[in-house]
Structure 1
């Protein structure tokens, strides 16, 4: 499964899924299901609205390109454009996110705002037709299947790409490398099967819970979400996915938790996500909940429209296939990585382990200064001493792993004298280069846009760098676990 093939196939799935949604909207209007049709339309519009926001943030300094991308977004063709950019791998100096990061964010938004809610509405329509004894059209069934398969493919592709990435495996072989060199197509197919069965089960759960009352449905989502946040706050150095503010972090966790609940997104397994034990426990809880919800509904807690001969076969079949896929998945991956699904390691534990046990400077820095300070607060003094003892050598020798992104992320108090002056000088050099509109092609998958203070348009984005002159520095990087840091 080559990167180009997966990216373009995923983009094709996304475009076909959007087309099938439009067909189902037409059918819903035709059979008088106006409310459901409008709900699907609202979700499509909401997805497009958020995608337009991403385009604005990415391309606002290039109005013509921004207008073109917005047109593609409105025409639901942006996934194809994103796929082209991911394969190209290039980033313009004015962009806040690199192509891979932009692709991840847009895919998460699409899944949260359109794919999952849209599939729920479509499934509710089909279940309603079945309970009324009416025929279900092939358009309805094919649209629902397309939505589930497209979402499963997209979400598990993100994990697959991260796991087989040689750089991720070099940085932390304990967290990456579960997919073997052989039978990768089989492993990916099993990942998709797990995701599809999970999504089908959760959608059916939502339908039954809605029939039991809106409050019950709300509590089903709110209580686990509150427990998730409590666990995040209690686990040391585990709350922030990257160097982002508090409110965006809250939103990111809500989106990540919801998509993981519905798709068994394995990108949540690393320590900075749910963690291995958290992911596995969450999956088991959600699947056990399908039996409980079905029993309560059939026991008199629902409206009685669906009978046991419909509910139980679906619940047992979906969970049975999921169990088979999971067992086969565990037997197919590298044995040494089975334990990662039960790991209690936190993001801070991971940072501490790699800082003290690895000799490579780029690994030490990647898991400390490139992350939120809460990850290494308990050994920050050691990080400071290490940086101060080595930074002048890095600035002079410029090893292959060194980049302006690393330099810009070093906290001010860890740079003294000559090192601080050199960083300020380098920032001004890059600022002059960016102000002339040149492409910034820095290494290590970085995003670094810098503008001079005289640029009134972005004057509010200016920040201090290394105690030197003021320059507008924007840093965004895709966290290897799927989070965003910047």
Structure 2
């Protein structure tokens, strides 16, 4: 079982590492591309999102490890600054790494927080900026398309790992077995399920980003109206189903 978990962890680590590397490279590429073409506002937006995301992650690293040695804090900060943190967290969770004494939260909870920050502060906002630039007609090069695909993939991978690890939480499975437990135990099936959920998430993220970008191209007020209606329907559904 431990060997299977390590194989699964290696697949996630490799896949996540490749995506993170490409995402970093394409973000830097897009910053220079927008800057050279005179569209500095887009370049600034992407830089702001990256800096904001890393700032939040560094703050959390300090809070999470404030009772640890300074070398431990510096090591975790290096993971953040070198874009290795998502892969490291995924590996720790996949091999059932126990909570380290002195840490504020468990490795699983830590990964959830970092994934949330990455989604909220960098992945989705960056994809929206690039999609808007493409649909507005200001930059429709193949590089923009590739960068957008990578950004969507990172957002999908992030949401997939969050869903995956929440489902495999033993406490949640024990409290609500009717909802949690859809991830199989066999490593091969687990990997197949992971990629299926990833593809589904990528389609959903793409649809939302394209819809929001198209609305914004038309008018910012149209985009706000679309988001308000979308979230209203979601909340109404949750209320009707009493799913909170």
With the length of structure 1 as denominator, give the TM-score of the two structures. 0.43
Q: Residue 127 of structure 1 corresponds to which residue in structure 2? A: 135
Give secondary structure in 2 for the equivalent of 1:2. Answer: helix
Q: Residue 96 of structure 1 corresponds to which residue in structure 2? A: 104
- Is 1:32 the counterpart of 2:38? The answer is yes
Deviation readout 1:51-91 (Å, 9 max, x if unpaired): 01111111123333223322332333322332343336132
- Is 1:43 the counterpart of 2:33? The answer is no
Q: Residue 25 of structure 2 corresponds to which residue in structure 1? A: 19
Selected match of 2:167 from 163, 171, 174? 163
CA contact (8 A) 1:72 1:78 kept: yes
CA distance in 2, matches of 1:175, 1:70: 36
CA distance in 2, matches of 1:88, 1:178: 18
Structure 2 gap ranges (5+): 1-6
Selected match of 2:218 from 206, 212, 215? 212
Q: Which moved more, 1:19-28 or 1:167-176?
A: 167-176
Go from structure 1 to structure 2 and tell me whether the alpha carbon gap of 1:204 and 1:4 turns closer, same or farther (over 3 Å shift).
Answer: same
CA distance in 2, matches of 1:17, 1:65: 26
- Is 1:5 the counterpart of 2:8? The answer is no
Deviation at 1:193, TM superposition (A): 2.4
Go from structure 1 to structure 2 and tell me whether the alpha carbon gap of 1:74 and 1:168 turns closer, same or farther (over 3 Å shift).
Answer: same
CA distance in 2, matches of 1:345, 1:228: 12
CA contact (8 A) 2:54 2:80 kept: yes
Selected match of 2:85 from 78, 89, 94? 78
CA contact (8 A) 2:98 2:106 kept: yes
**Alignment RMSD (CA, Å):** 3.0
Go from structure 1 to structure 2 and tell me whether the alpha carbon gap of 1:71 and 1:188 turns closer, same or farther (over 3 Å shift).
Answer: closer
Q: Residue 151 of structure 1 corresponds to which residue in structure 2? A: 155
Deviation readout 1:376-415 (Å, 9 max, x if unpaired): xxxxxxxxxxxxxxxxxxxxxxxxxxxxxxxxxxxxxxxx
User: With CA pairs under 8 Å and 6+ residues apart, which has the higher RCO, 1 or 2?
Assistant: 2
CA distance in 2, matches of 1:209, 1:76: 32
Give secondary structure in 1 for the equivalent of 2:83. Answer: coil
Go from structure 1 to structure 2 and tell me whether the alpha carbon gap of 1:119 and 1:63 turns closer, same or farther (over 3 Å shift).
Answer: same
Go from structure 1 to structure 2 and tell me whether the alpha carbon gap of 1:184 and 1:79 turns closer, same or farther (over 3 Å shift).
Answer: closer
Q: How many residues align structurally?
A: 234
CA distance in 2, matches of 1:63, 1:176: 38
With the length of structure 2 as denominator, give the TM-score of the two structures. 0.80
CA distance in 1, matches of 2:79, 2:193: 33
CA distance in 2, matches of 1:180, 1:22: 38
CA distance in 2, matches of 1:105, 1:65: 19
Residues 275-314 of structure 1 mapped to structure 2, 5 A cutoff: 278=238
CA distance in 2, matches of 1:83, 1:16: 18
Deviation readout 1:282-306 (Å, 9 max, x if unpaired): xxxxxxxxxxxxxxxxxxxxxxxxx
> Higher helix proportion, which one?
2
Residues 182-221 of structure 1 mapped to structure 2, 5 A cutoff: 183-221=189-227
Deviation at 1:173, TM superposition (A): 2.4
Go from structure 1 to structure 2 and tell me whether the alpha carbon gap of 1:147 and 1:55 turns closer, same or farther (over 3 Å shift).
Answer: same
CA distance in 1, matches of 2:99, 2:184: 31
Give secondary structure in 1 for the equivalent of 2:241. Answer: coil
Go from structure 1 to structure 2 and tell me whether the alpha carbon gap of 1:165 and 1:55 turns closer, same or farther (over 3 Å shift).
Answer: closer
CA distance in 1, matches of 2:180, 2:39: 47
Go from structure 1 to structure 2 and tell me whether the alpha carbon gap of 1:90 and 1:165 turns closer, same or farther (over 3 Å shift).
Answer: closer
Q: Residue 4 of structure 2 corresponds to which residue in structure 1? A: none
